[in-house]
Amino acid sequence: LEGDFVASTKFQGQKAGYVFKKDKLGLGYYKDVKKAAAPVKKQSAADAWAEKKLATPQWRSGPGGLKMRDDKLGSGNETPRRGKMVTVHYTGKLKSGKQFDSSVGRK
């Protein structure tokens, strides 16, 4: 077989490199063309880092893309409700690991 299309009114067995179907040129054997894979979207370094961190179970995404994890969970039995006061400590770090803010040690 040669060319992109060979007309045939009925299936006459498999032909290497061709598929039998009805398409815009009619019924017959069409050259089997593999569809090109969709282009891979390039990730920024920050997005790649965040994806890697999120793969670890303790990391999660918050509002505005904030990445967070609980290093130490409380041991109290009471669940806070709206209007109740709670104490929360945080430490903000850059991707490089450099700390830029922390509530630990403040009053």
CA atoms within 13 Å, Cβ hemisphere of 60: 6
Residues 6+ apart with CB under 8 A from 31: 3, 4, 5, 17, 18
Residue 106 or 96, more confident: 96
pLDDT of res. 54 = 67
**Could you tell me which residue, 75 or 6, shows the higher pLDDT?**
6
* The two structure tokens encoding residue 18: 């061709």
**Structure token digits, residue 19:** 């598929």
pLDDT digits 0-9 by tens, 53-104: 666 557 778 887 777 877 666 777 777 788 888 888 888 888 788 888 888 8
Average pLDDT estimate for 9-14:
85
Strands (E), 9-106: 18-23, 26-31, 60-61, 67-68, 91-93, 99-102
32's tokens: 């089997």
pTM for this predicted structure? 0.35
Average pLDDT over residues 5-25: 86
The pair phi, psi for residue 48, each rounded to 5°, is -65, -40
- Asked if the model's pLDDT at residue 21 lies above 80, the reply is yes
> What mean pLDDT comes out for the span 8-13?
86
